Amino acid sequence: MKSEAASTASAAEAASYSISELAREFDITTRTIRFYEDKGLISPARRGQTRVYSPEDRVRLKLILRGKRLGFSLDESREIIDMYDPAHGNVEQLHRLLQHIEQKRAQLQQQLRDIESLMGELDDAETRARASLAQAENK
Amino acid sequence: MKSEAASTASAAEAASYSISELAREFDITTRTIRFYEDKGLISPARRGQTRVYSPEDRVRLKLILRGKRLGFSLDESREIIDMYDPAHGNVEQLHRLLQHIEQKRAQLQQQLRDIESLMGELDDAETRARASLAQAENK
DNA sequence: GCAGAGGCTTACGTTAACGTAAACGTAAAG
DNA sequence: CTTTACGTTTACGTTAACGTAAGCCTCTGC
């Protein structure tokens, strides 16, 4: 039997991760992970002094990093993560949440358009570059 | 006859823009535009001291802002803009350019995947929020 | 002739997102 | 028993991307 995930030994003991394990997996530094905790984006458990990360913590980290790839600030990523929580109390807050979701959707749609046009331009640039290359070779 | 674009009077006099015109159009400050110039992203002409922006300058500005929406740094945007220039000299540079284009494409594809998943999660979040709302209303 | 309305330069200030380093604790390995 | 590996806190440093403000031209309308 192959060794299991990271720290789980036998049955269903809910895997946990050390800070350096996560750092390695996502190619970031431990400093970065602690920084995110400082900013209130993750709240790992503690065994004594040492941080112990749950699978949920790991998912949060993933969401943060995905946000980064999309150019989101940590505050924006926090907002998005909060949309996931079942913690939205009253009706007014729910309405605000829905508005917020709509805004994010609009932003993502703009990004889609931006990517589409940029992709086209990259195609053009490649075509021109290949043309220049061809001309350079048989000159 | 309706008044033409910004500063062009009669025939084909190649429109030009003042810094504040561009600032208004793109909803940024003049400081920001000058900052981009400082960083070598735009190089407007001068009439005396005053900056005079051509349509090409305006396009560059647009590209920078699109880059920002995609989370690019100014350096990255500069690289992308440079891909457009017909200034790639020798063969080696052309090969590097092609590699660069491929990298950007890969990055954009990752962003596409990220947007897709985030969109799906926004849908889920909306569904849950609407469910909570419905339950709150007929409780 | 002077008050605005722009425009310019120079320069210090600010925020986000970490980097870097010091100084210390602890547990397993040789 | 002392490396070695990993963990912790605290704190100052750094870079990008502007914001903000001061001080100074210059043209246009009244």
Model confidence pLDDT, tens digit, residues B60-102: 999 999 999 999 999 999 999 988 876 667 888 889 899 999 9
Compute how many other C-beta atoms are within 10 angstroms of the C-beta atom of residue A23: 18
A14-71: CATH number: 1.10.1660.10
Whole-number Å distance between alpha carbons of B99 and B120:
32
pLDDT of residue A1: 34
Q: Return mean pLDDT, chain B.
A: 89
For range A119-124, the mean pLDDT: 96
Answer whether residue B16 shows pLDDT above 60.
Answer: yes
Protein CA at A110 to nucleotide C1' at D2, angstroms: 60
Answer whether residue A6 shows pLDDT above 60.
Answer: no
Strand partners, A51: A46
Nucleotide nearest to B33 (CA to C1'): D18
pLDDT of residue B85: 76
User: Can you name the CATH fold of B13-74?
Assistant: Multidrug-efflux Transporter Regulator; Chain: A; Domain 2 (1.10.1660)
Side-chain-side CA neighbours of B106 within 13 Å: the count stands at 6
User: Is the CB of residue A36 less than 8 Å from the CB of residue A64?
Assistant: yes
pLDDT of residue A139: 59
Percentage above 90 pLDDT, chain B = 73
Instruction: Summarize pLDDT for B43-63 with one digit per residue, the tens.
Output: 999 999 999 999 999 999 999
Check if A59 contacts B (Cβ < 8 Å): no
Those residues with Cβ within 8 angstroms of residue A61's Cβ, 6 or more apart along the chain or in another chain: A22, A26, A33, A36, A42, A53
- Closest partner residue to A69 (CB to CB) among B95, B110, B136 is B110
Nucleotide nearest to A67 (CA to C1'): C17
Strand partners, B45: B52
For range A117-139, the mean pLDDT: 89
Which of B59, B110, B123, B133 best probes binding to A when mutated, by most A CB atoms within 10 angstroms? B133
Q: Return mean pLDDT, chain A.
A: 89
User: Is the CB of residue A44 less than 8 Å from the CB of residue A54?
Assistant: yes
